[in-house]
Structure 1
């Protein structure tokens, strides 16, 4: 058996006065990508959603209307089997001066925390992450770090990691919405979006990095 994992984040890794207070990294775990595609087709037929697309053809929390966001999130609950894992990193608690300056390694450390929770899935995993690291060397470094964390978590099945553009993968668009919704809750005290997802399907984990 193989499960699919989609990963995206909301927030930033800056430490300036205009930077976000937290970085949220979210994983959406499903057994079948076709269920997400069917949901996407259903949502796109909704007249309210069509009007809320603005200039974007993707499900993006910062690009579609409030009503469209709620429609998309609510439809996730029609999936029989899925998990949503939120990693919450409060930046002011980071004291490590090296990681404060090295955003790539900091992101790898935070994302690596997902491994111990995703590794609970006793099956092969295909991980797809929104492509943001331009240089191949950075992609390879991320993959090595994540593979190591899975190994340390006792994961022994087959693991694939792919970096893809969100416009080609509905799973990446959905997890973008989920990360955005969690960010609204944690950073803006607005939980009206994330509450649309069945609470039993969601996990929140705070991350502390020395």
Structure 2
């Protein structure tokens, strides 16, 4: 199972974030990952945390952040992420945020499928409130990117199953939020404290566009093949490939 969440924004105004982070939690045992949130909530917490419906990185204390991230690092889970350096985005793309967003998600998903040699249907869970999400357009693009926009002749790749969920009801999406927040904290502040907690399980890092590790497999030893058997149907809809012509700024 692949769970996606983000940190930052795709705005370009004076108050916008300098980076946009997309994190993927690749969970071989989702229930084990979800328990990281459950265990933290069962502990003695200040009253304000008991009352909120969802723990998130940005509204949690240092202690809660550390507990969640430490727990995730002990699970049979890998992390892949993409970082967009927004100062390098083409001017003509700054007002086409949906295309920019879809490209980042599609590129990261394709990288995961190819590096992990995923055969069968990859189940991809996304927060239904993800930035600027237009559901049908988003689903069509990821289907095209994963199955038609590549040359995976050696893999039996099926269209990914894109599942939109309410993050308040899905603990694994909540974990992905903490992971995205930890990575974002590193890029925005230069502080590796939270990032270091999950560093050992980071398998893939994609840097758009001129990062030190632009398209990097961080830890090859984590890339165990994943073969899935869940069935999925493909409507046969096509996607305009001209919208995938993203280039370095």
**Into which bin does the TM-score normalised by the smaller protein fall?**
0.7 to 0.9
In structure 2, the partner of 1:113 is 107
**C-alpha distance in 1 between matches for 2:125 and 2:106:** 14
User: Residues 5 and 130 of structure 2 are in contact (CA less than 8 Å); yes or no, is this contact kept in structure 1?
Assistant: no
In structure 1, the partner of 2:24 is 27
Per the TM alignment, residue 157 of structure 1 is displaced from its structure 2 partner at its CA by 3.2
Structure 1 unmatched runs, 5+: none
Give the secondary structure class of the aligned counterpart of 1:42: helix
User: Residues 7 and 177 of structure 2 are in contact (CA less than 8 Å); yes or no, is this contact kept in structure 1?
Assistant: yes
In structure 1, the partner of 2:96 is 102
User: Residues 54 and 63 of structure 1 are in contact (CA less than 8 Å); yes or no, is this contact kept in structure 2?
Assistant: no
Give the alignment's TM-score, normalised by structure 2. Answer: 0.74
Question: Which one of 77, 84, 98 corresponds to residue 82 of structure 1?
Answer: 77
**C-alpha distance in 1 between matches for 2:85 and 2:111:** 19
Of stretches 12-21 and 33-42 in structure 1, the one that deviates more from structure 2 is 33-42
Structure 1 segments of 4 or more deviating over 3 A?
Answer: 133-136
Question: Which one of 140, 145, 150 corresponds to residue 149 of structure 1?
Answer: 145
Per the TM alignment, residue 205 of structure 1 is displaced from its structure 2 partner at its CA by 1.1
Of stretches 33-42 and 139-148 in structure 1, the one that deviates more from structure 2 is 33-42
Larger radius of gyration, structure 1 or 2? 2
| CA shift in 2, pair 1:115/1:135, >3 Å | closer
| CA shift in 2, pair 1:91/1:135, >3 Å | closer
Give the secondary structure class of the aligned counterpart of 1:101: coil
Per the TM alignment, residue 199 of structure 1 is displaced from its structure 2 partner at its CA by 2.2
Per the TM alignment, residue 135 of structure 1 is displaced from its structure 2 partner at its CA by 9.1
User: Residues 56 and 63 of structure 1 are in contact (CA less than 8 Å); yes or no, is this contact kept in structure 2?
Assistant: no
In structure 1, the partner of 2:52 is 56
**C-alpha distance in 1 between matches for 2:199 and 2:132:** 37
In structure 2, the partner of 1:36 is 33
